[in-house]
Structure 1
Amino acid sequence: MTADFDEEDLPSGTELEELESELPALARIRRFATAATRVDWFAHVGEHPGPRTMDMAEHYADALGFPDARVALVTDWAEAAAAAETLDFDAAAWEMEEQLRAALTMDALDRLSEDALQVALTHVAATVHEPITTSVDEALAIWDERPDELRDLAVGSAIQACHQAALVLAAEAEEDHPFALRFRLFEGGRWPIGIAGLSFNLF
C-alpha cells in the first residue's frame, strides 16, 4: 500500500535550506554527546590536583566573573555534599551562570531553530545520563559512601555541565567560555562544585 503525500506537507525550499544549515551544529553536538560517554567522570575526586588543573580552575573562576575567588580543595564526599548544598544560598554565582546560559541560548537560536536546539540538548542529557550515573556509583563504592543524596547531587551537576557545554557548541562560543572550562574540569575526573563567597569548591 502506497502512502498518499500532500504537497502542502512537504518542506519548502527555504525550510530545506534551514534544515541543511543546522546539520553541522547538530552533528557537533551529537559527537560531543558520544565523547562525553567516555569521560572518566569523578575518577580523581579528592586527589591533590596538579598545576594544570589548578590553573584551569583559577581561569574558570576568573572567566565566570569572580577573579578574587580562590580554589578550595574538597577532600571527601561529605564535604562535597555540604559545599554543593551551600550553592543554593549564593545568588551571585547562580545569577552569573543564568546570564551566561541565557546569552548562549540566544546565540544558539541564531543558528538553530528552537525545536532543533531542544532536540539536541535532550539527546545530550539522554546519552550521558547512564554513564554518568554508573561512574558516580563506582566512585561512591570506592570511597565506601552510601549514595543517599550524594548520588543525585553529583549526577545532576555533571549532566548540567554537559548541557552547558552543548550550549557552548551550539552557540559557537569561544573555547575558553566558562562553561567549556567547567566541563574540562569534569573531563579531568574532578567535580567543580561551584563558587560560594570567595571560594571555588573543587572536589
Structure 2
Amino acid sequence: MNSSPAPTKRSTPDRLMDVAQAMFVKNGYHGVAVDKIIAQTGVSKGTFFYHFKSKEDLAQRLLERYFERIAAAANAIGTAAAQQSDDPWQILDICLTEFENLFNGRHVQGGADESLDGCLMAAFSYQLFNDIPSLRAISAQAINRFSTAYAPLFDEVLATANSPVGISGETLSKHYFALMQGTLLVSRIDPAWTDFKQQVDSFKKMLNALLK
C-alpha cells in the first residue's frame, strides 16, 4: 500500500500565477494577454477577474510572490547552514553555494523546495518598470530587503580579516545578490552566462583574497 502523501492541490490564484510567470518569462509582459493566460489555465474569464483586478494586479502579486520566495529561500539556506557549522566562513560558503543552486534551478537545502523559474524582473524589463510605477516600487522594496539578507554573516567573516578591509558586510551582500540577478538577466541574452557556479567561485576567490 502506497502511504505517500497526495500532492498538494494548487489554488486557482497560484495556478494562474504559475502559468502567467512562465508566459511572462518567455514572451515578456506586453507579449502576454489575459485571454492567453485564461486559455492556458483553463479557467473562465470571470474566475480570473474574481482573483485579479487586471493584468497589472496579477503582475504585482506575481512579483510579490517571486521576491517572497527568494527571501524565504535565503532564510532557509542560512538556517540550514548554521546547523552544519559554527565557522562563519564555512556557513557563508554553504549559503553562497546553495543560493547559486537556487538560481541555477536546482533544489537547495533547508526546505526551500522551489527554484527560480527564470528572471521575472528581466521579463518585465526596465521600460515596464518606468511605465508601471507600482511594479517598480514593489521590486525596489523587495530588493532592498533580500539583498542584505546575508549582511550579518558577511560582517562575521570580515571580522576574521587580518586587517580592516574598508568594506561592509551589507555592501558585499548587495554585491553578491546583484551578481546572481545580473547573471540571470544576462543569461537570457547569452546562454554562455548560465554558468552560475563560475560566477560564485570567482566571487569566493575575490572575497578570500580580500581577507588575507
Please state which band the TM-score falls in when normalised by the shorter chain. 0.3 to 0.5
Relative contact order (C-alpha < 8 Å, sep 6+): which is higher?
1
Q: Provide TM-score, normalisation by structure 1.
A: 0.39
